C-alpha cells in the first residue's frame, strides 16, 4: 500500500525576541550605560561618564561629552571647564550635589573631538531616559551639542541663546559651554544673563508657588 508522502518536520518557530526591559531607575540606567557597546566610543573609553548629582535636582545641566579627566575619573565636568561650571553654580547659590550634571554622550570622543552625529543619535536615548527619570523643573543646555540634542537646533549658539525653549514640557535655557568662556572670557556676561534666567525660572517654578508652570508628568 502506498504511504502518503511524509510532511517535512519543521523546527518550531523561534520565539519572538524579548524586548530589552527598560531600567526603572537611574542606577539601573547607569549599569546599562556601564556595559554599553552601541557605538565605537566604547573601544577607546576608560570609563563611562553617566552623570552626578541629586536625582531630585530642580535643574539638570547638560554638557557635551567627557574629556580626558572625566574619562579617567568617570565623573562629568571635573576638568578645567568643570571648575568653571562649579563657580557658575556657586554664583547662583548651588553646589554640585544640589543639581544634576550629565552629558549628551557618555563616553569620551578620542582626542576631545566633537561627537559624531551617529554617536549623538545612539547615546541621546540614555540622556532622555535620565531626564525623564529626574524630571527637573528646568534644563540648562551647555553648548552646541546639548542644544542639538534637546532642541534639534543646529545654528550657532549665539543665535539660539537668550530665549527659553522647551524639551517635553520642561523649560530649557540654551547657553554657551563653559569651555567656550575659557577661550573667550569676554563672553562671560552672557553666562551671567543665562544663569539669571535659570534662577528666575526656578523661583517661578518653586513648589508652593501657585504661578509655577511646573512640568506635567507624561
For binding to ligand URA (CB under 6 A), which residues are involved? 49, 63-67, 70, 76-77, 79, 81-82, 103
Our CB check for ligand URA shows the closer of 58 and 66 to be: 66
Our CB check for ligand URA shows the closer of 138 and 145 to be: 145
Our CB check for ligand URA shows the closer of 5 and 117 to be: 117
Return the C-alpha torsion angle 29, 32, 37, 38, nearest 10.
Answer: -40
Q: How many CB atoms lie within 10 A of CB 163?
A: 9
Residue 157 CB, nearest distance to ligand URA (Å)?
13
DSSP-derived secondary structure for 178-205? HHHHHH-GGGHHHHHHHHHHHHHHHHHT
Our CB check for ligand URA shows the closer of 79 and 215 to be: 79
Our CB check for ligand URA shows the closer of 77 and 100 to be: 77
Residue 168 CB, nearest distance to ligand URA (Å)?
21
- Beta strands, E only, the chain: 52-53, 59-63, 100-103, 138-142, 164-167, 170-175
What are the residues whose beta carbons fall under 8 Å from the beta carbon of 118, sequence distance 6 or more? 39
Give the nearest residue (CB) to ligand URA: 63
The SS3 assignment for 85 reads helix
Residue 55 CB, nearest distance to ligand URA (Å)?
18
Residue 104 CB, nearest distance to ligand URA (Å)?
8
Residue 129 CB, nearest distance to ligand URA (Å)?
18
Our CB check for ligand URA shows the closer of 178 and 215 to be: 178
Q: What is the distance between the alpha carbons of residues 120 and 207, in angstroms, rounded to a whole number?
A: 34
Residue 122 CB, nearest distance to ligand URA (Å)?
17
Residue 6 burial (C-beta neighbours within 10 Å; 0-12, 13-18, 19+): exposed
Label each residue of 85-99 as H, E or C.
HHHHHHHCCCCHHHC
Q: Extract the C-alpha cell encoding 59.
A: 535643574
Amino acid at each position: 500500500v502506498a504511504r502518503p508522502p511524509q510532511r517535512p518536520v519543521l523546527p518550531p518557530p523561534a520565539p519572538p525576541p524579548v524586548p530589552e526591559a527598560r531600567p526603572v531607575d537611574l542606577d539601573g540606567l547607569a549599569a546599562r550605560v556601564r556595559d554599553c557597546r552601541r557605538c565605537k566610543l566604547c573601544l577607546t573609553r576608560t570609563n563611562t561618564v553617566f552623570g552626578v548629582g541629586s536625582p531630585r535636582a530642580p535643574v539638570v545641566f547638560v554638557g557635551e561629552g567627557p574629556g580626558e579627566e572625566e574619562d579617567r575619573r568617570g565623573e562629568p565636568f571635573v576638568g578645567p571647564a568643570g571648575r568653571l561650571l562649579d563657580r557658575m553654580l556657586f554664583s547662583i547659590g548651588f553646589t554640585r550635589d544640589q543639581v544634576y550634571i550629565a552629558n549628551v554622550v557618555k563616553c569620551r570622543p578620542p582626542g576631545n573631538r566633537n561627537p559624531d552625529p551617529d554617536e549623538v543619535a545612539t547615546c541621546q536615548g540614555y540622556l532622555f531616559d535620565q531626564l525623564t527619570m529626574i524630571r527637573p523643573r528646568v534644563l540648562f543646555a551647555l553648548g552646541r551639542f546639548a542644544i542639538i540634542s534637546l532642541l534639534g537646533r543646529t545654528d550657532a549658539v549665539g543665535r539660539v541663546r537668550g530665549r527659553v525653549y522647551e524639551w517635553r514640557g520642561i523649560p530649557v535655557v540654551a547657553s554657551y559651554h563653559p569651555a567656550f568662556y575659557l577661550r573667550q572670557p569676554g563672553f562671560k556676561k552672557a553666562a551671567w544673563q543665562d544663569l539669571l534666567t535659570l534662577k528666575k525660572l526656578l523661583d517661578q517654578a518653586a513648589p508652593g508657588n501657585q504661578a509655577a508652570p511646573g512640568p506635567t508628568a507624561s
